Amino acid sequence: MTQTRKRIDWLPAPDYFSAKGMMRDHDWLESYFSVVLQWPKTCTVSLKDRQLVGLAKSLAFNWEPGILNHTDLALKTGSTPEEVTEVIKATSATLGLAELDMTAQTKGTLKLSELPRLNSLVRKSLKAIESYYRTVPSCFRHKIVTEDPQWFLDFVSVTKPAYDLGTKVLDPKLRSLVCLAAAAVMNWQNGVRLYSASARRFGATERETFDVIRSVFKTAVSNAMAAGFRIPCHIPNLRGYRTILRAYVDKGALAGKRRRDPLTR
Protein backbone atom coordinates (compact mmCIF):
# COMPACT_ATOMS: atom_id res chain seq x y z
CA MET A 1 0.00 0.00 0.00
CA THR A 2 2.83 2.38 0.85
CA GLN A 3 4.50 1.70 -2.50
CA THR A 4 1.26 2.48 -4.31
CA ARG A 5 0.96 5.82 -2.55
CA LYS A 6 4.52 6.74 -3.53
CA ARG A 7 3.60 6.41 -7.19
CA ILE A 8 1.06 9.20 -6.80
CA ASP A 9 2.74 11.28 -4.11
CA TRP A 10 1.43 14.45 -5.79
CA LEU A 11 -2.15 13.37 -5.06
CA PRO A 12 -3.32 12.82 -1.45
CA ALA A 13 -5.35 9.73 -0.59
CA PRO A 14 -9.07 10.56 -0.60
CA ASP A 15 -10.70 11.26 2.75
CA TYR A 16 -13.20 8.46 2.21
CA PHE A 17 -10.40 5.91 2.60
CA SER A 18 -10.93 6.34 6.33
CA ALA A 19 -14.47 4.93 6.03
CA LYS A 20 -15.13 1.84 8.11
CA GLY A 21 -14.06 -1.34 6.32
CA MET A 22 -12.41 0.50 3.42
CA MET A 23 -8.88 -0.71 4.21
CA ARG A 24 -9.71 -4.41 4.55
CA ASP A 25 -9.49 -5.40 0.88
CA HIS A 26 -5.90 -4.61 -0.05
CA ASP A 27 -6.20 -6.02 -3.58
CA TRP A 28 -9.17 -3.73 -4.24
CA LEU A 29 -7.26 -0.76 -2.83
CA GLU A 30 -4.24 -1.44 -5.03
CA SER A 31 -6.45 -1.68 -8.09
CA TYR A 32 -8.35 1.45 -7.10
CA PHE A 33 -5.15 3.46 -6.75
CA SER A 34 -3.90 2.11 -10.06
CA VAL A 35 -7.03 2.50 -12.19
CA VAL A 36 -9.05 5.28 -10.56
CA LEU A 37 -6.47 7.60 -9.04
CA GLN A 38 -3.88 7.37 -11.80
CA TRP A 39 -3.56 7.50 -15.55
CA PRO A 40 -2.03 4.45 -17.27
CA LYS A 41 1.73 4.18 -16.90
CA THR A 42 2.05 4.16 -20.69
CA CYS A 43 0.00 7.35 -21.13
CA THR A 44 1.91 10.04 -23.03
CA VAL A 45 -0.47 12.91 -22.26
CA SER A 46 1.64 15.32 -20.20
CA LEU A 47 0.98 15.74 -16.49
CA LYS A 48 0.00 19.36 -17.08
CA ASP A 49 -2.48 18.43 -19.82
CA ARG A 50 -3.96 15.64 -17.70
CA GLN A 51 -4.99 18.19 -15.09
CA LEU A 52 -6.72 20.35 -17.71
CA VAL A 53 -8.48 17.28 -19.12
CA GLY A 54 -9.43 16.39 -15.54
CA LEU A 55 -10.82 19.89 -15.08
CA ALA A 56 -12.95 19.43 -18.20
CA LYS A 57 -14.34 16.12 -16.91
CA SER A 58 -15.07 17.58 -13.48
CA LEU A 59 -16.94 20.46 -15.09
CA ALA A 60 -18.93 18.02 -17.21
CA PHE A 61 -19.81 15.99 -14.11
CA ASN A 62 -20.53 19.24 -12.24
CA TRP A 63 -18.19 17.92 -9.54
CA GLU A 64 -17.03 20.92 -7.53
CA PRO A 65 -14.27 19.17 -5.49
CA GLY A 66 -12.74 17.91 -8.73
CA ILE A 67 -12.94 21.35 -10.31
CA LEU A 68 -11.07 22.89 -7.39
CA ASN A 69 -8.54 20.06 -7.19
CA HIS A 70 -7.71 19.99 -10.90
CA THR A 71 -7.53 23.77 -11.10
CA ASP A 72 -4.96 23.80 -8.29
CA LEU A 73 -3.00 20.91 -9.81
CA ALA A 74 -3.11 22.48 -13.27
CA LEU A 75 -1.56 25.68 -11.94
CA LYS A 76 1.02 23.71 -9.94
CA THR A 77 2.06 21.70 -13.00
CA GLY A 78 2.63 24.69 -15.25
CA SER A 79 -0.70 25.82 -16.63
CA THR A 80 -1.44 29.53 -16.74
CA PRO A 81 -4.65 31.08 -15.39
CA GLU A 82 -5.48 31.97 -19.00
CA GLU A 83 -5.28 28.30 -19.98
CA VAL A 84 -7.58 27.34 -17.12
CA THR A 85 -10.04 30.01 -18.24
CA GLU A 86 -9.93 28.76 -21.83
CA VAL A 87 -10.50 25.15 -20.74
CA ILE A 88 -13.59 26.22 -18.80
CA LYS A 89 -14.89 28.11 -21.83
CA ALA A 90 -14.14 25.26 -24.24
CA THR A 91 -15.73 22.69 -21.94
CA SER A 92 -18.83 24.79 -21.36
CA ALA A 93 -19.26 25.29 -25.10
CA THR A 94 -18.87 21.55 -25.71
CA LEU A 95 -21.47 20.72 -23.07
CA GLY A 96 -23.90 23.12 -24.69
CA LEU A 97 -23.31 21.63 -28.14
CA ALA A 98 -23.78 18.13 -26.76
CA GLU A 99 -27.07 18.93 -25.06
CA LEU A 100 -28.39 20.74 -28.12
CA ASP A 101 -27.34 18.06 -30.57
CA MET A 102 -28.92 15.27 -28.55
CA THR A 103 -32.22 17.08 -27.96
CA ALA A 104 -32.79 18.95 -31.23
CA GLN A 105 -32.56 15.99 -33.60
CA THR A 106 -36.31 15.47 -33.58
CA LYS A 107 -36.84 18.99 -34.93
CA GLY A 108 -35.16 18.29 -38.24
CA THR A 109 -31.60 18.60 -39.50
CA LEU A 110 -30.44 20.18 -42.73
CA LYS A 111 -28.48 18.02 -45.14
CA LEU A 112 -25.06 19.26 -46.19
CA SER A 113 -26.46 19.80 -49.68
CA GLU A 114 -29.05 22.23 -48.26
CA LEU A 115 -26.55 24.57 -46.58
CA PRO A 116 -25.93 26.78 -49.66
CA ARG A 117 -29.53 28.01 -49.35
CA LEU A 118 -28.86 29.62 -45.98
CA ASN A 119 -28.19 33.28 -45.22
CA SER A 120 -24.77 34.43 -46.48
CA LEU A 121 -23.54 35.32 -42.97
CA VAL A 122 -24.61 31.92 -41.72
CA ARG A 123 -22.78 30.22 -44.58
CA LYS A 124 -19.63 32.21 -43.78
CA SER A 125 -19.74 31.05 -40.16
CA LEU A 126 -20.25 27.46 -41.27
CA LYS A 127 -17.08 27.70 -43.37
CA ALA A 128 -15.03 28.49 -40.26
CA ILE A 129 -16.65 25.60 -38.42
CA GLU A 130 -15.96 23.25 -41.30
CA SER A 131 -12.29 24.23 -41.32
CA TYR A 132 -11.93 22.81 -37.81
CA TYR A 133 -14.11 19.71 -37.98
CA ARG A 134 -13.55 18.95 -41.69
CA THR A 135 -17.34 18.84 -41.92
CA VAL A 136 -20.33 20.76 -40.59
CA PRO A 137 -21.50 18.79 -37.53
CA SER A 138 -25.20 18.15 -37.09
CA CYS A 139 -25.33 20.41 -34.01
CA PHE A 140 -24.84 23.36 -36.38
CA ARG A 141 -27.35 22.09 -38.95
CA HIS A 142 -30.47 21.61 -36.85
CA LYS A 143 -33.32 23.66 -38.25
CA ILE A 144 -34.10 25.31 -34.94
CA VAL A 145 -30.49 26.51 -34.87
CA THR A 146 -30.27 27.94 -38.39
CA GLU A 147 -33.77 29.42 -38.77
CA ASP A 148 -32.85 32.71 -37.05
CA PRO A 149 -29.63 34.10 -38.61
CA GLN A 150 -28.87 36.55 -35.78
CA TRP A 151 -29.40 33.92 -33.10
CA PHE A 152 -27.21 31.54 -35.08
CA LEU A 153 -24.36 34.06 -35.28
CA ASP A 154 -24.52 34.62 -31.52
CA PHE A 155 -24.67 30.86 -31.01
CA VAL A 156 -21.53 30.41 -33.11
CA SER A 157 -19.75 33.12 -31.14
CA VAL A 158 -20.58 31.53 -27.78
CA THR A 159 -19.54 28.04 -28.88
CA LYS A 160 -16.37 29.18 -30.64
CA PRO A 161 -14.03 28.04 -27.81
CA ALA A 162 -14.99 24.44 -28.69
CA TYR A 163 -13.43 24.68 -32.15
CA ASP A 164 -11.40 27.89 -32.28
CA LEU A 165 -8.13 27.69 -34.19
CA GLY A 166 -7.50 31.41 -33.85
CA THR A 167 -7.02 31.49 -30.07
CA LYS A 168 -3.48 30.43 -29.20
CA VAL A 169 -4.04 30.08 -25.45
CA LEU A 170 -4.52 26.32 -25.93
CA ASP A 171 -2.77 24.39 -28.65
CA PRO A 172 -5.21 22.64 -31.01
CA LYS A 173 -4.34 19.16 -29.77
CA LEU A 174 -5.05 20.02 -26.14
CA ARG A 175 -8.26 21.84 -27.03
CA SER A 176 -9.47 18.74 -28.87
CA LEU A 177 -8.57 16.43 -25.96
CA VAL A 178 -10.35 18.72 -23.50
CA CYS A 179 -13.49 18.77 -25.66
CA LEU A 180 -13.20 15.01 -26.23
CA ALA A 181 -13.23 14.46 -22.46
CA ALA A 182 -16.33 16.62 -22.05
CA ALA A 183 -18.09 14.88 -24.96
CA ALA A 184 -17.28 11.47 -23.48
CA VAL A 185 -18.74 12.41 -20.09
CA MET A 186 -21.92 13.55 -21.82
CA ASN A 187 -22.05 10.35 -23.88
CA TRP A 188 -22.24 12.60 -26.94
CA GLN A 189 -21.24 10.06 -29.56
CA ASN A 190 -21.10 12.58 -32.41
CA GLY A 191 -18.77 14.71 -30.32
CA VAL A 192 -16.56 11.77 -29.39
CA ARG A 193 -16.11 10.97 -33.08
CA LEU A 194 -15.50 14.60 -34.05
CA TYR A 195 -12.97 15.36 -31.32
CA SER A 196 -11.17 12.03 -31.61
CA ALA A 197 -10.62 12.80 -35.28
CA SER A 198 -9.56 16.42 -34.68
CA ALA A 199 -7.18 15.40 -31.89
CA ARG A 200 -5.52 12.93 -34.25
CA ARG A 201 -5.18 15.61 -36.94
CA PHE A 202 -3.50 17.94 -34.45
CA GLY A 203 -0.93 15.41 -33.31
CA ALA A 204 -2.52 13.19 -30.67
CA THR A 205 -1.93 9.48 -30.95
CA GLU A 206 -4.84 7.07 -31.09
CA ARG A 207 -3.73 5.76 -27.69
CA GLU A 208 -3.94 9.26 -26.20
CA THR A 209 -7.54 9.62 -27.37
CA PHE A 210 -8.30 6.19 -25.91
CA ASP A 211 -6.70 7.19 -22.60
CA VAL A 212 -8.78 10.38 -22.41
CA ILE A 213 -12.00 8.47 -23.10
CA ARG A 214 -11.05 5.74 -20.64
CA SER A 215 -10.23 8.33 -17.99
CA VAL A 216 -13.94 9.18 -17.83
CA PHE A 217 -14.31 5.92 -15.90
CA LYS A 218 -11.85 7.01 -13.22
CA THR A 219 -13.53 10.38 -12.80
CA ALA A 220 -17.01 8.85 -12.62
CA VAL A 221 -15.94 6.31 -10.00
CA SER A 222 -14.03 8.77 -7.83
CA ASN A 223 -16.92 11.24 -8.07
CA ALA A 224 -19.44 8.62 -6.92
CA MET A 225 -17.15 7.38 -4.15
CA ALA A 226 -16.60 10.87 -2.81
CA ALA A 227 -20.34 11.56 -2.88
CA GLY A 228 -21.28 8.20 -1.38
CA PHE A 229 -18.91 8.45 1.56
CA ARG A 230 -19.55 12.09 2.33
CA ILE A 231 -20.53 12.33 6.00
CA PRO A 232 -24.08 13.69 6.22
CA CYS A 233 -24.00 17.11 7.79
CA HIS A 234 -26.50 18.59 10.18
CA ILE A 235 -29.02 20.78 8.36
CA PRO A 236 -29.86 23.72 10.61
CA ASN A 237 -33.34 25.05 11.14
CA LEU A 238 -33.68 27.90 8.65
CA ARG A 239 -35.78 29.86 11.12
CA GLY A 240 -32.65 30.80 12.97
CA TYR A 241 -30.67 31.85 9.91
CA ARG A 242 -30.61 34.92 7.75
CA THR A 243 -31.63 33.90 4.23
CA ILE A 244 -30.62 35.48 0.95
CA LEU A 245 -34.20 36.63 0.45
CA ARG A 246 -34.17 38.32 3.86
CA ALA A 247 -30.97 40.14 2.95
CA TYR A 248 -32.70 41.61 -0.10
CA VAL A 249 -35.77 42.53 1.93
CA ASP A 250 -33.69 44.30 4.56
CA LYS A 251 -32.14 46.42 1.84
CA GLY A 252 -35.57 47.36 0.58
CA ALA A 253 -35.09 45.49 -2.70
CA LEU A 254 -38.71 44.34 -2.85
CA ALA A 255 -40.71 47.36 -3.99
CA GLY A 256 -38.76 49.51 -1.56
CA LYS A 257 -40.49 47.94 1.43
CA ARG A 258 -39.29 45.86 4.33
CA ARG A 259 -41.11 42.56 4.45
CA ARG A 260 -40.70 39.60 6.69
CA ASP A 261 -39.17 36.50 5.16
CA PRO A 262 -41.79 33.73 5.55
CA LEU A 263 -39.00 31.30 6.40
CA THR A 264 -38.02 33.31 9.47
CA ARG A 265 -41.46 34.16 10.82
Domain of residue 175, CATH code: 1.20.1290.10
Half-sphere exposure for 131 (CA within 13 Å, toward CB): 11
Q: For residue 166, is it within any domain?
A: yes
Query: Would 238 be classed as within a structural domain?
Result: no
170, part of any domain: yes
Within a domain: residue 18?
A: no
Identify whether 198 is part of a domain. yes
Assess if residue 213 is contained within a domain.
yes
Q: Which residue has the higher pLDDT, 262 or 71?
A: 71
What confidence score (pLDDT) does residue 234 get?
Answer: 44
**pLDDT (0 to 100) of residue 216:** 96
Domain range enclosing 65: 39-231
Residue 6 falls inside a structural domain = no
> Lowest-pLDDT range, 14-18, 88-92, 136-140?
14-18
Does 23 reside within a domain?
no
pLDDT tens readout for residues 123-178:
888 988 998 999 999 999 999 998 899 999 999 999 999 998 888 899 999 999 99
Which residues are within 8 A (CB) of 177 and not within 5 positions of it... i.e. 6 or more apart?
45, 49, 53, 195, 199, 204, 208, 209, 212
Q: What's residue 132's pLDDT?
A: 92
Count up the domains in the chain and report the number. Answer: 1
pTM: 0.81
